[in-house]
A and B are shown apart, each in its own frame.
Chain A
Amino acid sequence: MKAIINLSRRDFIQKSTILTSGLLLGFYLPKKGLAISSATTFAPNAFLRIDRTGTVTFMLNKAEMGQGVYTSLPMIIAEELECNWQDIKVEHAPVDPAYDHTMYGPIMVTGGSTSVRSEWERLRKAGAAARMMLIGAAAKKWQAMPGECTASGGEVSHSKTGRKIAYGDLVEEAAAQEAPEDIVLKPSSEFKLIGKEMARLDVPEKVDGTALFGIDITLPGMFTAVVARPPVLGGKVKTFDDTAAKKIPGVHTVVAIDRGVAVVADGFWSASLGRDSLDIDWDNGILANLDSDKQAEEYAKMAEKPGLPAADRGDIETALQQAEKTLEAAYELPYLAHAPMEPLNCVADVRSDGCDLYTGSQFQTVDRNNAAAAAGLPPEQVKLHNTYLGGGFGRRAVIDSHHIVEATQISKAVGAPVKVIWTREDDIQGGYYRPRTYTKVIGGLDDDNNLIALKQVIVGQSIAKGTPFEEAMIHDGVDHTSVEGASDSVYAIPNFRVEYHMAPAGVPVLWWRAVGHTFNAYVKECFIDEMAKMAGKDPYQFRRTLLKNNPRELAVLDLAATKANWSSPSPKGQGRGIAFHTSFGSHVAMVAEISINQRARVKVEKVVCAIDCGQTVNPDTIVAQMESGIVFGLSAGFYQEITFRNGRVQQDNFDSYDLLRMSEMPKVEVHIVDSTEPPGGVGEPGVPPICPAVANAIMSITGRSLRHQPFRQEDIAA
Chain B
Amino acid sequence: MITLNVNGKDYSVDATPDEPLLWVIREKLGLTGTKFGCGQSLCGVCTVLVDDEAVRSCVTDVGDVAGSKIVTIEGVPDDHPVKQAWVDDQVPQCGYCHPGQIIGAVSLLKENPKPTDADIDSAMDGIVCRCGTYARIRRAIHHASADGTAGGKS
Is A631 positioned at the interface, with any CB of B under 8 Å from its CB?
yes
Asked if A662 and B87 make an inter-chain contact with CB atoms under 8 angstroms apart, the answer reads no
Q: A68 — which chain B residues lie within 8 A by C-beta? A: 93
Interface residues of B in 108-154 (CB under 8 A from A): 120-122, 124-138
Residue of A nearest to B102 (CB): A207
Contact with A along B38-71 (1 / 0, CB 8 A): 1110110100000000000000000000000000
Contact with A along B14-35 (1 / 0, CB 8 A): 0010011001001110111111
Residue of B nearest to A210 (CB): B33
Contact with B along A386-401 (1 / 0, CB 8 A): 0011111100000000
Asked if A628 and B83 make an inter-chain contact with CB atoms under 8 angstroms apart, the answer reads no
Is A304 positioned at the interface, with any CB of B under 8 Å from its CB?
no
Is B6 positioned at the interface, with any CB of A under 8 Å from its CB?
no
Q: A199 — which chain B residues lie within 8 A by C-beta? A: 87, 90
Distance in Å: Cβ of A249 to nearest Cβ of chain B:
7
Asked if A424 and B39 make an inter-chain contact with CB atoms under 8 angstroms apart, the answer reads yes
Contact with A along B90-112 (1 / 0, CB 8 A): 11111111110010000000000
Q: A424 — which chain B residues lie within 8 A by C-beta? A: 37-40, 42-43
Measured in the bound complex, the distance between the Cα atoms of B94 and A82 in whole Å is 28
| Most chain B beta-carbon contacts within 10 A, residue among A67, A218, A661 | A661
Q: B120 — which chain A residues lie within 8 A by C-beta? A: 662
A202 touches which one: B78, B95, B127, B138 (CB < 8 A)?
B95
Asked if A202 and B92 make an inter-chain contact with CB atoms under 8 angstroms apart, the answer reads yes
Q: A269 — which chain B residues lie within 8 A by C-beta? A: 19-20, 23
Measured in the bound complex, the distance between the Cα atoms of B98 and A652 in whole Å is 23
Interface of B is mostly: loop
Asked if B73 and A208 make an inter-chain contact with CB atoms under 8 angstroms apart, the answer reads yes
Q: B95 — which chain A residues lie within 8 A by C-beta? A: 66, 202-203, 205-207, 211, 388, 390
Distance in Å: Cβ of B48 to nearest Cβ of chain A:
11
Is A718 positioned at the interface, with any CB of B under 8 Å from its CB?
no
Contact with B along A426-454 (1 / 0, CB 8 A): 00000000000000000000000000000
Measured in the bound complex, the distance between the Cα atoms of B133 and A207 in whole Å is 13
Beyond A202-B92, A215-B36, is A630–B132 a contact (Cβ under 8 Å)? yes
Contact with B along A664-680 (1 / 0, CB 8 A): 01011000000000000
Measured in the bound complex, the distance between the Cα atoms of B39 and A668 in whole Å is 31
Measured in the bound complex, the distance between the Cα atoms of B30 and A339 in whole Å is 25
Beyond A208-B83, A389-B94, is A663–B132 a contact (Cβ under 8 Å)? no
Q: B10 — which chain A residues lie within 8 A by C-beta? A: none
Q: A624 — which chain B residues lie within 8 A by C-beta? A: 90, 93, 133, 136
Beyond A249-B16, A624-B90, is A659–B128 a contact (Cβ under 8 Å)? yes
Q: B127 — which chain A residues lie within 8 A by C-beta? A: 662
Asked if B38 and A654 make an inter-chain contact with CB atoms under 8 angstroms apart, the answer reads yes
Measured in the bound complex, the distance between the Cα atoms of B50 and A398 in whole Å is 39
Measured in the bound complex, the distance between the Cα atoms of B130 and A337 in whole Å is 12
Residue of B nearest to A428 (CB): B38
Q: A200 — which chain B residues lie within 8 A by C-beta? A: 90, 92
Distance in Å: Cβ of B9 to nearest Cβ of chain A:
15
Is A406 positioned at the interface, with any CB of B under 8 Å from its CB?
no
Asked if B138 and A662 make an inter-chain contact with CB atoms under 8 angstroms apart, the answer reads yes
Measured in the bound complex, the distance between the Cα atoms of B61 and A193 in whole Å is 50
Is A146 positioned at the interface, with any CB of B under 8 Å from its CB?
no
Measured in the bound complex, the distance between the Cα atoms of B40 and A665 in whole Å is 23
Is A212 positioned at the interface, with any CB of B under 8 Å from its CB?
yes
Q: B131 — which chain A residues lie within 8 A by C-beta? A: 66, 341, 391, 628, 631-632
Beyond A66-B95, A203-B87, A249-B16, is A209–B42 a contact (Cβ under 8 Å)? no
Measured in the bound complex, the distance between the Cα atoms of B81 and A456 in whole Å is 54
Asked if A204 and B87 make an inter-chain contact with CB atoms under 8 angstroms apart, the answer reads yes
Interface residues of A in 262-279 (CB under 8 A from B): 267-269
Residue of B nearest to A207 (CB): B86
Q: B135 — which chain A residues lie within 8 A by C-beta? A: 627, 665, 667-668
Q: A209 — which chain B residues lie within 8 A by C-beta? A: 31-34, 72-74, 99
Distance in Å: Cβ of B60 to nearest Cβ of chain A:
13
Measured in the bound complex, the distance between the Cα atoms of B23 and A199 in whole Å is 33
Q: A118 — which chain B residues lie within 8 A by C-beta? A: none
Measured in the bound complex, the distance between the Cα atoms of B96 and A202 in whole Å is 12
Asked if B96 and A341 make an inter-chain contact with CB atoms under 8 angstroms apart, the answer reads yes
Is A566 positioned at the interface, with any CB of B under 8 Å from its CB?
no
Is A379 positioned at the interface, with any CB of B under 8 Å from its CB?
no
13 sampled A-B residue pairs with Cβ under 8 A: A200-B92, A203-B86, A203-B91, A206-B98, A209-B72, A216-B26, A341-B35, A341-B97, A421-B36, A653-B38, A653-B42, A659-B130, A662-B124
By Cβ-Cβ distance, the 3 closest A-B pairs, closest first, are A631-B132, A209-B33, A206-B95
A: which residues have CB within 8 A of B?
65-68, 199-200, 202-213, 215-216, 218, 224, 249, 267-269, 339-343, 388-393, 421, 423-424, 620, 624, 627-632, 653-655, 659-663, 665, 667-668
Other than A203-B90, A208-B83, A340-B96, give 4 A-B pairs with Cβ distance below 8 A.
A203-B92, A269-B20, A662-B121, A668-B135
B: which residues have CB within 8 A of A?
16, 19-20, 23, 26-28, 30-40, 42-43, 45, 72-74, 78, 83, 86-87, 90-99, 102, 120-122, 124-138
